[in-house]
Structure 1
Amino acid sequence: MNPYKRIALKALSHWGRNLKKNYRVYRRFTNVVSVCTGHGCRIADLEVAAGDRNIPVRLFHPDDPALGVLIFFHGGGWVTGNVDSYTHVCSNMANQTKNIVVSVDYRLAPEHPFPSGLEDCYDATREFFKNPGLLNCKADDITLIGDSAGGNLAAAVSLMARDRGEFLPKRQILIYPSTYNDHSENSPFPSIRENGTGYLLTSEEIQNYMDMYAPNIEDRQSPYLAPLLARDLSNQPDTLIITAEYDPLRDEGEAYGMRLKEYGNNVKMYRIKGALHGFFSIPWKSQHVSRSFEIINWFLNSYNGQSEELL
């Protein structure tokens, strides 16, 4: 990595040190940034009824006829981010993949700790699987996708769907997902120590997010919070996992892919060289985002489960 870029990243990495105190400021900041970025597709807001509550979702229709549906869960450590801050991401995703994108505005921690946000994601997904006509598609046309904490939620929804038996996605796309419950120096994954400082997202920041999302320590043993802890990973969707070279979460995301393969699932993994955690949501074009969409489109259009190498 360029040494000047490395110095700049180290300075920016101090931003998350007061996360627990300033998470509301972070939320406002991400919304301000999203206002400064444009979008280029048709957008519609609606609510999905789930028991005694309604879950807001935002639909992004591509300019071209839709080939399928992506149900998207945004990142932000389960604490920041929303459908507004991810509007540019989802708009670009819709046009790049020619899929309708459904962005779920799930409840955030710490006001709503685990499993509140996960239950929102599950309930919204279940309704679209039970009523695919709402999106003018078939259930088999629906793919789950999420980045970072959203990748964690996508994996958890797939596990929960198998366990509850109400529906089962055919495909899931996990972009640099969180899959484990320990991001301290005791983590079994080298990327936590190698990339845990000086690369924007720090291991300290990840631990702060986890503290706010799952204040109950017992919850951190749940496979719906840390999918790598699941005793049984059989009968999971065809899976694409995209990781970033300089990401603290890199190794646990790839470890999850390997465990899915051990249980007979079809898995494809790609590591984006030179990329940092969060690259997928930057508000400008980059080679890393372009490469990711090449991989995603290949997966959506022609995945056959035969190629499993990590590139």
Structure 2
Amino acid sequence: MAINKAMRAALKALSYPDLDVKKTYKMERQVVSLTSKRLVKSPFYKTWDHRVTCGDHEVPVRIFSLPDGLLHPVLLFFHGGGWVTGNIDSYDKVCTDMARLTNHVVVSVDYRLAPEHRFPAGLEDCYAVTREIFLDGALLGTRPEEITLIGDSAGGNLAAAVSLLARDRGEFLPARQILIYPATYNDHSENSPFPSVRENGADYLLTSKRVNDFMELYRNTEEDLQSPYFAPLLAQDFSRQPRTLIITAEYCPLRDEGEAYGLKLLEAGNAVEVHRIRDALHGFLSLPPRFAQVKHTYDIINRFLDEVTPDEILPPVEQT
């Protein structure tokens, strides 16, 4: 459905440009927790919880497996929420749909949140879970080449950062990653080099101010802003990265930086697909699968997952 004048007016009213996330994030977490309660579980999947040791603490994960009892490839999922809100409960429905629609086991990571746990705490949690799943094949009965990293928004940032970190630490290397409207840059002010920050940064629910506030809560020091593990687009080396699918939304302030990251990966010789979803807003993956943008996105994801050994690198951006 195209965004008409009435919808634009409604979106503008809901965007709350003056809302200060730094003062409201605890309340937002409570709202997320209250609205993510599910009284009826879907019959299309079963779940079990697991914990992964990371330093002096354990990282909770929730595993969504299909009811047929067979082994399936794995989607390792990092949720969005600006590194500050969101949890495995709030993404329960998304992961349920993801498992069913992709015929994959989905592993959702409940990484630590900022500002109580600032960068790189959440990233290290995601890395620890990824490392265990890659190096312990008995856990899910899967091989490393059957594991795909996937994340939306801040989770897309974390997936990209885990891939860079995995290459740099040399312990394992993901074969595929799916980044859905990812945050890849460090500046979402008027000084940003990306037009989508200005074009879509005020009236489409996720505002550029909100992104800046999230990043201020996430970073630990000023130096973090220059780290490629904080802002992957700032990496000096984009080589030896996974085969990558990037999906952006037409009316998202993060659109251009996500597509720019795809171009950087492409120029470094990696296999990359970038798709811009028409008439889509940031966060659209959380909508029910009957929505056209969600259905189309899963069509793209499934084609990407089915292409095990691609023999060509696709053009930088395809608007669909």
CA-CA distance at 1:25 after TM superposition: 1.2
Distance in 2, matches of 1:136 and 1:281, equals 29
Match of 1:261 in 2: 266
2:51 is equivalent to residue 47 of structure 1: yes
CA-CA distance at 1:24 after TM superposition: 1.1
Match of 2:6 among 4, 7, 20: 4
Q: After TM superposition, what 4+ stretches of structure 1 lie above 6 angstroms from structure 2?
A: none
2:164 is equivalent to residue 164 of structure 1: no
CA-CA distance at 1:224 after TM superposition: 0.2
1:146-295 correspondence runs (5 A): 146-283=151-288, 285-295=290-300
Q: Give the direction of change, closer, same or farther, for the CA distance of 1:263–1:105 in structure 2 (3 Å limit).
A: same
Distance in 2, matches of 1:59 and 1:78, equals 21
CA-CA distance at 1:278 after TM superposition: 0.4
CA-CA distance at 1:107 after TM superposition: 0.2
Distance in 2, matches of 1:37 and 1:184, equals 41
CA-CA distance at 1:305 after TM superposition: 4.8
CA-CA distance at 1:162 after TM superposition: 0.2
2:132 is equivalent to residue 127 of structure 1: yes
Which amino acid is 1:27 matched to?
Answer: R
Distance in 2, matches of 1:233 and 1:193, equals 27
2:19 aligns to what SS in structure 1? helix
State the Cα deviation string for residues 5-49 of structure 1 (Å, max 9, x = none).
000000110177121111011112122222258542101011012
Q: Which ranges of structure 2 fall in alignment gaps of 5 or more residues? A: none
Match of 2:34 among 32, 35, 53: 32
Q: Give the direction of change, closer, same or farther, for the CA distance of 1:98–1:284 in structure 2 (3 Å limit).
A: closer
Which amino acid is 2:314 matched to?
Answer: E
Q: Give the direction of change, closer, same or farther, for the CA distance of 1:307–1:170 in structure 2 (3 Å limit).
A: same
CA-CA distance at 1:282 after TM superposition: 2.6
Distance in 2, matches of 1:37 and 1:203, equals 35
Distance in 2, matches of 1:132 and 1:154, equals 20
Match of 1:61 among 44, 65, 68: 65
1:109 aligns to what SS in structure 2? coil
- Indicate the RMSD between aligned Cα atoms, in angstroms: 1.4
Q: Give the direction of change, closer, same or farther, for the CA distance of 1:16–1:72 in structure 2 (3 Å limit).
A: farther
Distance in 2, matches of 1:298 and 1:127, equals 27
Distance in 2, matches of 1:305 and 1:24, equals 47
- Normalised by the length of structure 2, the TM-score is 0.94
State the Cα deviation string for residues 274-299 of structure 1 (Å, max 9, x = none).
00000011356311111111011100
Contact 2:288 2:294 in 1 (8 A): no
Count matched residues: 311
Distance in 2, matches of 1:67 and 1:258, equals 31
Match of 1:306 among 295, 305, 312: 312
CA-CA distance at 1:256 after TM superposition: 0.1
Distance in 2, matches of 1:16 and 1:112, equals 25
Distance in 2, matches of 1:91 and 1:157, equals 23
